Amino acid sequence: MDLLFRSEILKAIRKYFYSTSVIEVVTPIIQKFASSEVFIESIEVKNYGYLHTSPEHAMKQLLSKNKDSIFQICSVFRANEIGSLHKEEFQMLEWYRRSFDLMKLVEDTENLLRSILKEITANFDCADFCFPFEKISYKSLFFDSFSEDPHTVSLQKLSQISRNLKIPNINHSRSEYLDFLFALKIQPKIVSPTFVLDYPICQAAQAEICADDKGEKVAKRFELFIQGVELANAYQELRDPSELLTRFNNNNAIRRLHGKKQVMVDYQLLESLPLMPKCAGASLGIDRLMKIISRSSNIDKFYDID
């Protein structure tokens, strides 16, 4: 039954994208460059490179050459990812929509999930989602929990809040403090499907930075949470290579503080960015989606071959 469940979800994903003129692509699993993310570790394939932690960089290079909206379903690999929500190898859906801004991608993500449920509920007992999903700013959630503005709160104040919550206080950057506090006190409370919008600029990753309605600079990024689980992560994509280089260098600086190996900058990606069309892109964990829809307690059951 679990094998059939996965098969039907994959079929539903493809049906949605084919029906909306998004092209399915395949990119190499082994990449020359490791991930520069501070808390994502790549698995090295000696003498060849690294198993990709995401098809993001390869898909962006493809976008710079072909311009079409694209999607991919693939296995990705991350070292030491073990737990009820993590595996070292898992399936990811990633897609990029040409000419989309972040809010159009929010709508697209809702439509995708609505379409998947419509396709599979006749044959499977599935969780019932209420559409449209809730939408709330990162600032609102953080202020409700800590009475502080995450965009302006000082590093000293973040350190103090963390000490009060018994979070170890060693070499934490502003982004790390925010991550820890969000994961500990905010994320578990997000039960209903909710898009969290407008992240602090220190957490922009590869998202554009723009002014919000009040003129405050925010990262044009969303994460979708359901039942306290992060299901999807999305950016209004940055196309400025100099800015992305700065962010890669900042990641390496934080990696040094934690005694981690620095990684080579992906200059192939930087060279392709100016040619990439305006777009928004998202990644979604298929195993987590299956867990949530089926109300399962663990993603391992979907890999059981005994």
For 23-37, the pLDDT digits (tens) are: 999 999 999 999 989
Beta bridge mates, 199:
219
Rounded Cα distance between 130 and 114, Å, is 9
What distance lies between CA 239 and its chain's CA centroid? 18
CA distance 278 to 100: 7
Of the two residues 166 and 240, the one the predictor is more confident about is: 240
The 10s digit of each residue's pLDDT in 279-298 is 999 999 999 999 999 998 77
Give pLDDT, residue 65: 95
At which residue do the structure tokens 């972040």 appear? 102
Q: What is the pLDDT of residue 304?
A: 53
Question: Is the pLDDT reported for residue 300 higher than 80?
Answer: no
pLDDT at 67 over 90: no
Residue (of 234, 221, 229) closest to 290 by Cα position = 229
The reported pTM is 0.94
DSSP-assigned states of every residue in 195-260: EEEEE-GGG-TTB-EEE-TTS-EEEEEEEEEETTEEEEEEEEB---HHHHHHHHHHHHHHHHHTTP
Domain definitions of the chain by residue range = 2-303
In the chain the first and final C-alpha atoms are separated, in Å, by: 13
**Do residues 236 and 103 make contact, with C-beta atoms less than 8 angstroms apart?**
no
**Strands 229-236 and 217-226, bridge-based pairing:** antiparallel
Asked if 232 and 284 touch (Cβ cutoff 8 Å), the reply is: yes
What is the dotted CATH code of the domain comprising 2-303? 3.30.930.10
